[in-house]
Structure 1
Amino acid sequence: MSFHEVRFPAALSFGSVGGPERRTEVVTLANGFEERNTPWRDSRRRYDAGVGLRSLDDVEALIAFFEARQGQLFGFRWKDWGDFKSSLPSKDVTAFDQIIGYGTPERQDVFPLIKDYASGDQCYARPIRKPVAGTVRIALEQVELQERIDFEIDTATGEISFAEPPAEGVTIRAGFEFDVPVRFDVDRIQTSVASFRAGEVPNVPIVEVRV
């Protein structure tokens, strides 16, 4: 897949609207009961980048970014200001925020980053493919490790590679900031100076992509 490892200007994504979507197939039976199923394992995010525009300079920056991505052709990184780190929004990232796995008998040495979303007895493990460089922290049990000495992080895939495989049963924890892999959901952006000065902003849909 064509993807540029560059982030949409964070100042422009601040104030945008959006969030996760699911696809659920609902069949109502003759007796009134329902059968529900989903073809998606993972949710997908959608955003509107137009809401974050506050000046004509912002419009110019948006158009430049759009042209550099050639419309829908190339994906890019997006900072979701409502959900961009492993900890609670009010907390700082620590190496103990998320459990991403356990040491295996086979001495597995590569683990993907995940973020858990729990409610009651249910939990969804979201794959994190685009961690932000310099923010990833890893711990084995209660001991924090050192990046480039004990582990390496592939910021293009979200995979952690350990210098020494964790021992069997050892809890692997992680903390991080992350971006969402997205693309423009249109091949055309329409702007008007008169409309923008009147308080009308363009609609610029953004959709998450699988990577």
Structure 2
Amino acid sequence: MAFHEVRFPDAISRGARGGPERRTQVVELASGDEERNASWANSRRRYDVAYGIRRADDLAAVVAFFEARNGRLHGFRFKDWADHKSCLPSGTPSPLDQPLGTGDGVRTAFQLAKRYASGGQSWTRAITKPVAGTVRVALGGTEQLSGWSVDTSTGLVTFGSAPAAGIPVTAGFEFDTPVRFDTDTLDVTLDLERLGSIASIPLLEIRR
């Protein structure tokens, strides 16, 4: 099993359907009350990209991509057009968008992350597939144009020298979601005009 650092075609992913999934156990008591327990600490995203196929050429591109990944065997990058930036979808990533941690004078590596907040609650998602050339980093509110690097296959930002104690580390970026096909079969239907269609092409986020 391997991960291929290649992105699913943008023209097709733009029309995909899907989003985050949670796993919650709900037990209904005899009184009618219920108890709820989260089975997963983190969400997992599911998509169906069949909705993005509009032409015969799109169909051919998906079949080729599927074959090159060996079905479910190898993972790949996917652009979730509803959630692919450290800021709002309509905005431009800023180096102040997301907190990565606080310097302690020793630590040099920080994981890219995105925080989702509503009311007094929040959840932080590790970002492992940033888009090359989009990552911007700041220390104490000042953008750093050098002195750091980012591994686009893991999302790990590494500084040449450790940020001083108490200094906030922040970043802005675009990112992809690591996924795999959730089927080993593409059921292609050829219509009368020979354009062809596929009823469903499920993708599942890879969590490590």
Shorter-chain-normalised TM-score: which range?
Answer: over 0.9
Query: Within 5 Å, which residues of 2 pair with 1:176-195?
Result: 176-194=173-191
Q: Does 2:130 correspond to 1:131? A: yes
The SS at the match of 2:188 is coil
Query: Within 5 Å, which residues of 2 pair with 1:17-32?
Result: 17-32=17-32
Query: Within 5 Å, which residues of 2 pair with 1:77-92?
Result: 77-92=77-92
Distance 1:184 1:112, change over 3 A: same
Task: Report the identity percentage.
Answer: 52
Cα deviation digits, residues 25-68 of structure 1 (max 9, x gap): 11223333222112211101111111101100110000000000
Aligned-partner Cα distance in 1 for 2:17–2:57: 20
Conservation of the 8 A alpha-carbon contact between 1:93 and 1:175:
yes
1:141 alignment counterpart: 140
Query: Within 5 Å, which residues of 2 pair with 1:130-209?
Result: 130-146=129-145, 149-194=146-191, 201-209=198-206
Listed as ranges, the gaps of 5+ residues in structure 1 are: none
Conservation of the 8 A alpha-carbon contact between 2:190 and 2:196:
no
1:61 alignment counterpart: 61
Query: Which residue identity does 2:10 align to in structure 1?
Result: A
Aligned-partner Cα distance in 2 for 1:164–1:208: 34
1:16 alignment counterpart: 16
Conservation of the 8 A alpha-carbon contact between 1:150 and 1:163:
yes
Aligned-partner Cα distance in 1 for 2:117–2:123: 6
Conservation of the 8 A alpha-carbon contact between 2:59 and 2:197:
no
Aligned-partner Cα distance in 2 for 1:196–1:83: 35
Q: What's the CA shift for 1:199?
A: 8.6
Distance 1:195 1:82, change over 3 A: farther
How many residue pairs match? The answer is: 208
Query: Which residue identity does 2:121 align to in structure 1?
Result: Q
Q: Does 2:117 correspond to 1:118? A: yes
Query: Which residue identity does 2:110 align to in structure 1?
Result: F
Dislocated runs of 4+, deviation >4 Å: 195-201
The SS at the match of 2:76 is strand
Aligned-partner Cα distance in 1 for 2:115–2:74: 28
Distance 1:196 1:170, change over 3 A: farther
Aligned-partner Cα distance in 2 for 1:177–1:24: 30
Query: Which residue identity does 2:78 align to in structure 1?
Result: W
Listed as ranges, the gaps of 5+ residues in structure 2 are: none
Aligned-partner Cα distance in 2 for 1:196–1:32: 55
Query: Which residue identity does 2:68 align to in structure 1?
Result: A
Aligned-partner Cα distance in 2 for 1:142–1:110: 18
Return the TM-score normalized by structure 2: 0.95
Cα deviation digits, residues 63-119 of structure 1 (max 9, x gap): 0000000000000000001110001111111111111111126x2111101101100
Aligned-partner Cα distance in 2 for 1:133–1:159: 12
Q: What's the CA shift for 1:200?
A: 5.5
Conservation of the 8 A alpha-carbon contact between 1:195 and 1:201:
no
Query: Which residue identity does 2:179 align to in structure 1?
Result: V
Aligned-partner Cα distance in 2 for 1:60–1:111: 40
Conservation of the 8 A alpha-carbon contact between 1:18 and 1:45:
yes
Conservation of the 8 A alpha-carbon contact between 1:130 and 1:157:
yes
